């Protein structure tokens, strides 16, 4: 199973490092990253495998959200089924 | 592969446009709890409801976290109590209502539906006793919802039941007068009532349903309104297409949640109800969708056409997105629960006559409309008879949920709070239909019901 982590906010040094470090801490394996900066606005979508997650998925969602709040970013972590259901027939 | 735009669109729908799953409603049959002894019946239904739906709220919260989509309400609907408790007295029915309220408290849900009767063709003794118990039941409970089906296209209109409902609604208003007659907000009078509707106050668990079932109601007026705004100045074919696409995406969320809830709760998946259900929150209004199509204000001439287009396109888009669509599925037009409707009434653009016309093409009926507290019961019966006739003649569900707010006059405001919102009291035509209503008996079924 996979989850999608989206990170948005004002661009600063080290965003990817912090998010990746958190993924490593909770054993979420990163399989894809797509990232861009537009007018100092940072946007990243990260796909991670959550089968071997060290904590319960809902706790992982909370921890990532907190990480965002601590760094002035908005981080959403959602199960990939949501996007597949909505955008693929 | 996931597309960045798709991901951001989904997140924007949830964060910026109020996309949510409005309710996961578990339907529970009470037919195996039947007893002529009220105490025994109450013990059995309390045990069954609290056991079957024990994990409903926790499961709803878990799914909300897992998928990142808000699931606003978790609710329970039960077999119409007049059927399951057919042997009870009015006092017995009040005791049942209190038991249902207690079960709702135990489960942590905000409404439980099914304190009702199906009397489209006539009454059983149990039906009469339940109807007699409705005012006391709704006044002495907080979470119990009641619905009475008084007509169907196949059976015609039970005008004796219509005549009784006027007095019952007035009595409910009086008994809850200290809370702006909120008792009436928990009571709906239906024609052609669906047996799998997950939305309150009209939800109940039909007799053809399995022992327990999961029905999900999705919502998202804000998402549709934003999509129409982004489309700008397009023609009607394009407009309908945009609504269909949006309804499809919204319904897919409902389908996903319904399957997951069904799996986790070990109850079969019933239906997804793809209704656009407004809330008083900014950006969550059906009236604003209609205005976004080009009307100066909801209620303007052209409103019925706009609503017909919206309702049809929502159904078409949603049907392909779910394996089973049911319930009310379409656009709700409650007044007090929709910021745009409230504005339209307050500025004089939207009248009750126009609302009645709109109900011929919306998914339900005259919903959450505050009327003067001194409205005679026979005028309320006239409102019901008119609205129910629209449903019977057009083979669609219609309903009446009016609140004759005690002590309030046209132009005053009533405040229900929460999702029920607030409403300006609407002016009515008070010419009396008393002699018409007093004839009693049944209005025969219309001819097009005899197709089979």
User: CATH code at B128?
Assistant: 3.20.70.20
The residue with greater pLDDT, A85 or B100, is: B100
Could you tell me the residue range of the domain that residue B127 belongs to?
Answer: 27-191
Q: Are residues B45 and B150 in the same domain?
A: yes
Tens-digit pLDDT profile for residues B37-82: 999 999 999 999 999 999 999 999 999 988 989 999 999 999 999 9
Residue B134 lies in a domain: yes
Among the partner residues A43, A47, A87, nearest to B6 by beta-carbon distance: A87
Q: Are residues B228 and B112 in the same domain?
A: no
Report CB contact under 8 Å: B66, A79. Answer: yes
Residues B286 and B333: beta-carbon distance below 8 Å: yes
Q: Which of B298, B296, B255 is nearest to B274 (CA)?
A: B255
Residue B207 lies in a domain: no
- Which helix or strand (DSSP H or E) is residue B25 part of? strand B21-28
Q: Which two tokens stand for residue B308?
A: 């017909």
Residue B275 lies in a domain: yes
Task: Judge whether residue B369 has pLDDT over 70.
Answer: yes
pLDDT of residue B450: 60
Task: Report the percentage of chain A scoring pLDDT > 90.
Answer: 73
Question: How many structural domains does chain B have?
Answer: 2
Residues B196 and B27: beta-carbon distance below 8 Å: yes
Residue B8 lies in a domain: no
Buried b or exposed e, range B232-241, using 16+ CB within 10 angstroms: eeeeeeebbb
Please tell me the least confidently modeled range out of A1-10, A36-45, A62-71, B257-266. A36-45
Q: Are residues B173 and B65 in the same domain?
A: yes
Q: Are residues B170 and B293 in the same domain?
A: no
- Which helix or strand (DSSP H or E) is residue A37 part of? strand A29-38
pLDDT bucket at B452, cuts 50 / 70 / 90 = low
Residues A30 and A48: beta-carbon distance below 8 Å: yes
Q: Are residues B183 and B326 in the same domain?
A: no
Report CB contact under 8 Å: B2, A79. Answer: no
Q: Are residues B181 and B45 in the same domain?
A: yes
Interface of B with A (CB under 8 A): 2-4, 6-11, 62, 65-69, 249, 252-253, 255-256
- Which residue of chain B has the CA closest to A33? B4
DSSP at B335: S
Report CB contact under 8 Å: A86, B4. Answer: no
Report CB contact under 8 Å: B67, A61. Answer: no
Q: Are residues B431 and B357 in the same domain?
A: yes
Residues B33 and B87: beta-carbon distance below 8 Å: no
If DSSP codes are grouped into helix, strand and coil, which group holds residue B443? strand
Distance between A13 CA and the closest CA of chain B, angstroms: 22
Last-in-domain residue among B174, B191, B208: B191
Tens-digit pLDDT profile for residues B220-245: 899 999 999 999 999 999 999 999 99
Task: Report the percentage of chain B scoring pLDDT > 90.
Answer: 83
Best to test chain B binding among A86, A87, A88 (most B CBs inside 10 Å): A86
Residue B422 lies in a domain: yes
Q: Are residues B171 and B64 in the same domain?
A: yes
Q: Are residues B294 and B423 in the same domain?
A: yes
Distance between B206 CA and the closest CA of chain A, angstroms: 29
Peptide bond just before B201 cis, omega within 30 deg: yes
Report CB contact under 8 Å: A79, B253. Answer: no
Residue B322 lies in a domain: yes
Q: Are residues B352 and B442 in the same domain?
A: yes
Domains of chain A: 2-87 (3.30.70.260)
Q: Which of B210, B327, B261 is nearest to B53 (CA)?
A: B261
Last-in-domain residue among B126, B156, B191: B191
Q: Are residues B187 and B62 in the same domain?
A: yes
Q: Which two tokens stand for residue B169?
A: 């609604």
Alpha-carbon distance of B177 to B183, in angstroms, equals: 9
Residue B199 lies in a domain: no
DSSP at B412: -
Tens-digit pLDDT profile for residues B124-178: 999 999 999 999 999 999 999 999 999 999 999 999 999 999 999 999 999 999 9
Q: Are residues B66 and B168 in the same domain?
A: yes
pLDDT bucket at B282, cuts 50 / 70 / 90 = confident
Residue B424 lies in a domain: yes
pTM (predicted TM-score) = 0.91
Residues B362 and B330: beta-carbon distance below 8 Å: yes
CB pairs under 8 A between A and B: 59
Outline where DSSP puts E strands in chain A. Answer: 2-10, 29-38, 41-49, 73-79
């Amino acid at each position: 199973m996979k989850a999608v982590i989206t990170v948005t906010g004002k661009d600063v040094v080290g965003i990817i490092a912090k998010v990746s470090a958190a993924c490593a801490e909770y054993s979420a394996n990163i399989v894809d990253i797509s990232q861009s900066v537009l007018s100092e606005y940072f946007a990243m979508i990260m796909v991670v495998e959550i089968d071997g997650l060290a904590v319960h998925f809902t706790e992982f969602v909370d921890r990532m959200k907190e990480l965002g709040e601590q760094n002035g970013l908005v981080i959403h972590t959602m199960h990939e089924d949501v996007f597949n259901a909505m955008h693929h027939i | 592969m996931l597309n960045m735009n798709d991901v951001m669109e989904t997140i924007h729908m949830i964060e910026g446009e109020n996309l949510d799953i409005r309710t996961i409603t578990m339907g529970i049959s009470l037919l195996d709890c039947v007893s002529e002894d009220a105490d025994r019946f109450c013990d059995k239904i309390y045990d069954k409801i609290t056991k079957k739906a024990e994990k409903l709220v926790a499961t709803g919260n878990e799914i909300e976290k897992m998928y990142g989509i808000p699931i606003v309400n978790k609710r329970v609907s039960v077999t119409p109590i007049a059927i399951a408790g057919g042997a009870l007295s009015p006092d017995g029915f009040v005791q049942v209502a209190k038991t249902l309220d207690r079960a709702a408290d135990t489960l942590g849900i905000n409404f439980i539906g099914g304190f009702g009767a199906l009397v489209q063709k006539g009454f059983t003794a149990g039906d009469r006793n339940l109807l007699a118990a409705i005012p006391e039941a709704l006044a002495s409970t907080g979470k119990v919802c009641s619905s009475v089906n008084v007509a169907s296209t196949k059976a015609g209109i039970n005008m004796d039941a219509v005549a009784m409902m006027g007095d019952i609604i007035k009595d409910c208003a009086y008994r809850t007068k200290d809370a702006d007659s909120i008792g009436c907000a928990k009571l709906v009078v239906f024609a052609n009532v669906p047996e799998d509707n997950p939305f309150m106050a009209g939800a109940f668990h039909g007799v053809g349903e399995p022992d327990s079932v999961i029905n999900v109601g999705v919502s998202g007026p804000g998402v549709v309104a934003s999509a129409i705004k982004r489309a700008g100045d397009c023609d009607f074919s394009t407009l309908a297409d945009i609504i269909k696409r949006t309804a499809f995406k919204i319904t897919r969320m409902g389908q996903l949640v319904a399957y997951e809830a069904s799996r986790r709760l070990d109850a079969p998946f019933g239906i997804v109800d793809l209704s656009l259900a407004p809330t008083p929150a900014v950006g969550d209004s059906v009236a604003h969708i209609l205005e976004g199509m080009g009307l100066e204000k909801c209620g303007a001439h052209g409103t019925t056409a706009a609503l017909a287009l919206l309702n049809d396109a929502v159904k078409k888009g949603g049907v392909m997105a779910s394996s089973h669509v049911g319930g009310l599925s379409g656009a709700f037009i409650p007044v007090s629960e929709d910021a745009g409707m409230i504005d339209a009434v307050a500025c004089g653009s939207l009248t009750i006559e126009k609302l009645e016309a709109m109900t011929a093409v919306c998914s339900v009926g005259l919903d959450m409309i505050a009327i003067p507290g001194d409205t005679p019961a026979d005028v309320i019966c006239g409102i019901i008879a008119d609205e129910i006739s629209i449903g019977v003649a057009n083979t669609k569900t219609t309903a009446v949920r009016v609140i004759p707010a005690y002590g309030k006059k046209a132009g005053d405001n009533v405040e229900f709070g929460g999702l029920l919102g607030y409403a300006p009291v609407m002016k009515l035509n008070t010419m009396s239909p008393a002699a018409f209503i007093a004839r009693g008996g049944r209005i025969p079924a219309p001819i097009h019901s005899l197709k089979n």
